[in-house]
Structure 1
Amino acid sequence: MLIPKKAAALAAGFVAVLSLASVAQVPAPAQRSADTLFVSDATIDWIEKSDVAALREGVIEKMELQIGMLAQRDKPIGVLHREIADLTVKKAELMVTNVAAKNKAEAQRDLALAIVATNARLNQRKPGMVSIEEMRKAEAEVKVAEEMKNEAVEKQKLDEADLLLARQALDEHTIKAPFDGIVIERIKGPGESVRANEAVVRLGNLDKLRSWAYIPLEYADRVKEGQIVELQQRLGGTPGEKKRYRGKITFVDPQIQPIAEVAVRVYAEFDNPDHELRPGAKATMTILIGTEGATASPTVGSRAPVGLGR
């Protein structure tokens, strides 16, 4: 039986529509050439980001930094009330400088040694002048005085350790930045109580960021740590989109991810001295295959992308 031409045309059109729909459901593959791999869906992320916590329980006395201010490593962010900690340090310092017990023990030892020497001389002149019990008692007092001195020395060492602990506790009343960064969020303020290890501020380092993306499994063995990556962030059509940044691949995830059938995740790091790259922004990455060991200049400029299939 012959199929009418109109029915055949409709059937062909229906098949074409189904084919286009099925193709549209598959994510667009990464563009690649012989020496480059272009990834269109990368995400810029922090490398160093931390909720900085107070090491001690207490009440915040003052905050040195506000949102948007730069923090320096090991410099104060805030301070807890520390009056008791100050007094504890002063008490520990007095205990360390107290040498009365040691001096007393040394004096008792010297006295006991003098008595032992006197007893010996008397018995030399006239045997039996000092009884054996008296001589043993004097010798025992020397040993007691020696142990009293040792006890005083050990006590002084313990006092020195207590002083170190007191100073450490006092230092922990100051909340310090663990790295150079910018204050993203202030979680606690002056007058508020905090528990030990409770976050006070959120700190992020913009000087160096990373991007991550998924690449096809077939490229997992060709993309290696140390290869140069060119990054271009997407900022809604602003002039900053034209600028390109160079970094290096720092990690190729060995685990296969169920993304676009099969893919692996890669990470690249970029210097960001002018803080133009923004964490959370989407970006495109061009991985230059076979560039391990090459030097990556921080910024490429606004030239045309490499390996985009022009």
Structure 2
Amino acid sequence: MSLTALLLAAALNQQPLDSNEIPVEKALLTIIDAVTVAPTESGKLTKVSVSEGDIVRKGTLLGQLDDEIERLELQRAATDLDIAKEQAENDVQIRYARKASQVADVELERAKESNDRVNNAVTQTELDSLRLLSEKAKLEIEQAEFEQRTAKLGLKLKANALDAARVKVARRKITSPIAGVVVEINHRAGEAVDTQSNAFRILNTSKLRAEFRLRASMASFSLKGRPVKLLTRIAGNKETEFRGRVVFVSPEINALNGMVRVWAEIDNPDGLLRPGIEVPITIMPDGEATAQRPNSKKEESAR
């Protein structure tokens, strides 16, 4: 049996009690949610809408590419849709064809009645012509109805074309995919960018990951979900408490030192904690209340 397997078996046989606190001397705070934002299309950057340090929401406009052609195409698509709508709603040809059919039927019936009163008042050739006109009028109704159905299908195509034009305009905008803080702007207005350009970098610090290691004998899988508490001094102020939960216990044991990687997610709503620092952390007993104590003047005043 391998050394890793032996260590894992030992760990499973020495699971910590849920009632025990587990102190961790050092946990490294790291970013969970960080993105580098590139344009979805190539073009000239006409506007940068944010500055480093700005707090943005998901969907906030970061920058704008030149979209003059796309906007003209959008206007054309909107006009084409208006024309298609008029054509789809226009039933003049149908109403005219129905009236023409009624007139043709009346003329045919009158010719028949004339022959009933006076033999050969209307020749057979004339009757055949009137019957043909009556049938033609009915076919013209079908043709007009077909053309209106086709126009309605064309209306759907024009609506799709308008949606596609709107998408093209939207793709000329560079928006934030997450809520967070703008920490890097690598291009300025007037510069050419493409889909490989790392134009902006956004960090979300509202929740941080605390990474640490435990002895295999303490790193039970039952730790996942356990509350954690973090106490640290922020910029020389009084000690501030933050709360979170264990979200990951590695299934692997380091064969060299017998340690297991563990991660906890720490709530950081006011952004007071900064990624990159090492802090002490305590894994609390299971069932411990996880409501975070006030960690800012704003929260204290709210209470």
TM-score > 0.5 by shorter chain: yes
1:167 is displaced (CA, Å) by 1.7
**Secondary structure of the corresponding residue to residue 93 of structure 2:** helix
1:63-111 per-position Cα deviation (integer Å, ceiling 9, x unaligned): 111222222332211111111121111111111111453466x222222
**Secondary structure of the corresponding residue to residue 239 of structure 1:** coil
1:136 is displaced (CA, Å) by 2.7
Pick from 236, 239, 257: which aligns with 1:239? 236
**Secondary structure of the corresponding residue to residue 25 of structure 2:** strand
Give the counterpart letter for 1:294 in structure 2. Answer: A
Question: Which structure's relative contact order is higher, taking Cα pairs within 8 Å and 6+ residues apart?
Answer: 2
Aligned to 2:87: 101
Pick from 287, 296, 301: which aligns with 1:292? 287
Instruction: Go from structure 1 to structure 2 and tell me whether the alpha carbon gap of 1:280 and 1:234 turns closer, same or farther (over 3 Å shift).
Output: farther
Instruction: Go from structure 1 to structure 2 and tell me whether the alpha carbon gap of 1:265 and 1:228 turns closer, same or farther (over 3 Å shift).
Output: same
Aligned to 1:151: 150
Residues 228 and 246, structure 2, Cα contact 8 Å, conserved in 1: no
Residues 56 and 197, structure 1, Cα contact 8 Å, conserved in 2: no
Cα distance in 2 for residues equivalent to 1:120 and 1:39: 97
Aligned to 2:269: 273
Give the counterpart letter for 1:42 in structure 2. Answer: A
Cα distance in 1 for residues equivalent to 2:82 and 2:68: 22
1:174-213 to structure 2, matched below 5 A, reads: 174-196=173-195, 198-213=197-212
1:165-198 per-position Cα deviation (integer Å, ceiling 9, x unaligned): 2122212222122232111111222122222374
1:36-115 to structure 2, matched below 5 A, reads: 36-98=21-83, 99-102=85-88, 106-115=91-100
Cα distance in 2 for residues equivalent to 1:103 and 1:251: 59
Aligned to 2:107: 122
1:49 is displaced (CA, Å) by 0.9
1:129 is displaced (CA, Å) by 6.0
**Secondary structure of the corresponding residue to residue 256 of structure 1:** coil
1:204 is displaced (CA, Å) by 0.3
Give the counterpart letter for 1:116 in structure 2. Answer: S
Cα distance in 1 for residues equivalent to 2:71 and 2:178: 27
Aligned to 2:170: 171
Cα distance in 2 for residues equivalent to 1:215 and 1:249: 16
Residues 122 and 129, structure 1, Cα contact 8 Å, conserved in 2: no
Instruction: Go from structure 1 to structure 2 and tell me whether the alpha carbon gap of 1:279 and 1:80 turns closer, same or farther (over 3 Å shift).
Output: same
Instruction: Go from structure 1 to structure 2 and tell me whether the alpha carbon gap of 1:298 and 1:187 turns closer, same or farther (over 3 Å shift).
Output: farther
Pick from 274, 277, 283: which aligns with 2:279? 283
1:134 is displaced (CA, Å) by 3.0
Give the counterpart letter for 1:140 in structure 2. Answer: L
Instruction: Go from structure 1 to structure 2 and tell me whether the alpha carbon gap of 1:103 and 1:203 turns closer, same or farther (over 3 Å shift).
Output: closer
**Secondary structure of the corresponding residue to residue 69 of structure 2:** helix
Cα distance in 1 for residues equivalent to 2:105 and 2:175: 66
Residues 250 and 262, structure 2, Cα contact 8 Å, conserved in 1: no
Give the counterpart letter for 1:246 in structure 2. Answer: F
Unmatched tracts of structure 1, length 5 or more: 1-31, 302-310
**Secondary structure of the corresponding residue to residue 265 of structure 1:** strand
- If the length of structure 1 is used for normalisation, what is the TM-score? 0.75
1:162 is displaced (CA, Å) by 1.4
Instruction: Go from structure 1 to structure 2 and tell me whether the alpha carbon gap of 1:62 and 1:176 turns closer, same or farther (over 3 Å shift).
Output: same
**Secondary structure of the corresponding residue to residue 136 of structure 2:** helix
1:295-310 to structure 2, matched below 5 A, reads: 295-298=290-293
After superposition, the CA RMSD in angstroms is: 2.9
Give the counterpart letter for 1:92 in structure 2. Answer: A
Residues 67 and 183, structure 1, Cα contact 8 Å, conserved in 2: yes
1:254 is displaced (CA, Å) by 4.2
Cα distance in 2 for residues equivalent to 1:260 and 1:233: 31
1:214-253 to structure 2, matched below 5 A, reads: 214-221=213-220, 223-232=222-231, 239=236, 243-253=239-249
Aligned to 1:11: none
**Secondary structure of the corresponding residue to residue 199 of structure 2:** strand
Give the counterpart letter for 1:228 in structure 2. Answer: P
